[in-house]
Every structure is written in C-alpha cells, then in structure tokens.
Amino acid sequence: MTVEPVPQLAGMDVSRETLERLQKFEGLLRKWTRTINLVSTSTINAIWDRHILDSAQVVRHAVSMPSSWADLGSGGGLPGIVIACLLAERSPDTRIILVESDIRKATFLRTASRELNLSMEVIASRIEAVPPLDAQIVSARALAPLPALLQYVERHLAPAGTAFLQKGKNADAEVAQARKDWNFDCTSHPSLTDPTASILEIKGLNRA
C-alpha cells in the first residue's frame, strides 16, 4: 500500500482537509476582492504565497492548544481565518475571535466562517470599543505602527498572554520607539515569505 505524504504548509504538517479548506478560502478571497478591497490588486495573483502562507506561519510559533486567540483588525481574514482553519483540527476547543470594524469586511468574515464550517466569533466593532477579551494569544497583521498597536494588544491580551505581530522592514525602529512607553519582552522571528519582514513575539507587556 502506498502512503501519501502529509502536506506541508509553512513548515507544518497539515491534513488534506485543512489544505482543502484553505484552498476554498483562497477562492472566497478572489471572489470577494472583486467588490471589496480585501487584498491589494497587485497581489491578487499571489494570494497563496503573499497572504495565506504568510498568515499560516504565525501558528508555528504559538502554543499547540491555546485556550483563546483574538485577531485584531482582521480585514480579509489574514491571518484570522487562516489561523482558524489551522486550529480547527489541531485545537478545536480554542475560542477564536476576529475583530473588524468595517461592516462589509465583517460580513465577508462571517460568510467565510459559515462556508468553511469554522467555529469562531466575528465582532464588528472598533478594537478600542470591544470589552477586554483576555485572550491567551493576540495577533495582528499590518494593522498599525507598534507604539499604537500595543495599546490595542494590552487591552485584549491576558496578563500572561503572548502577542504575535507581523511587521515589515521597519520593525526594529518600531520596537525602539515603542520601548519609550512600554515594557515588554520581544523575540523577532524571521518571515518565511518576505526577507524584510518578521513576526514579533511580545510577552510581559505593561506600560513603562
């Protein structure tokens, strides 16, 4: 009997069901982007590498079975929907919350959740107006400069929680600026999809 190889995604073993779910999500992104600006037109033909793989890699650095995960400013579900797809089989009891203030994008997130059979909550509200979520993990991708972003993270991160924040080439400068007002431990993980980008793993966050 021939055993088929386990699919790989951003260095992680995934089931074929998870891979198919992500491929279906890719199709939804392409369809909805025709009417809503979910991803930039310059990257529409590279959704898998530029967006889905880029989002998936965050899960590599997180604890295996988090109790709760909040994605802030979820937009087109990057990384929130991708994370939910990966955790659906790995950690089905994880409470996943996506926060997105744009009503049209929130509608897309709810549609994707339903069509992909994901268990998650979508909150259509401004991040600062949402009651504290006390999440074990908080994520955000290209949402705001780090000094401002940490205000959102502090509001929704559990005291012993971890934030995973995807940043571009200015990450080091943003970290230095943020340390003027915040105390935190920071580990920078190189991005698998962009040599100039990184994932900042933030712990022990409190105001200076």
| pLDDT tens per residue, range 26-61 | 999 999 999 998 988 878 788 888 899 999 999 999
- Identify whether 33 is part of a domain: yes
- Identify whether 82 is part of a domain: yes
Tally of domains within the chain? 1
The CA-atom distances, in angstroms, between 83 and each of 26, 41, 79 are 14, 23, 6
Give me the amino acid identity at 27: G
Nearest to 130 by CA among 205, 80, 202, 71: 71
Give the pLDDT mean for 94-106.
98
- Identify whether 5 is part of a domain: no
Q: Residue 26 is part of which domain span?
A: 10-207
- Identify whether 193 is part of a domain: yes
- Report the largest interatomic distance among the alpha carbons of the chain, rounded to a whole angstrom: 61
- Identify whether 196 is part of a domain: yes
CATH (domain of 70): 3.40.50.150
Beta bridge partners of 201: 164, 187
Q: Is residue 2 very low, low, confident or very high in pLDDT (cuts 50, 70, 90)?
A: very low
- Identify whether 3 is part of a domain: no
Given a contact cutoff of 8 angstroms between Cβ atoms, the answer to whether 72 and 148 are in contact is no
- Identify whether 91 is part of a domain: yes
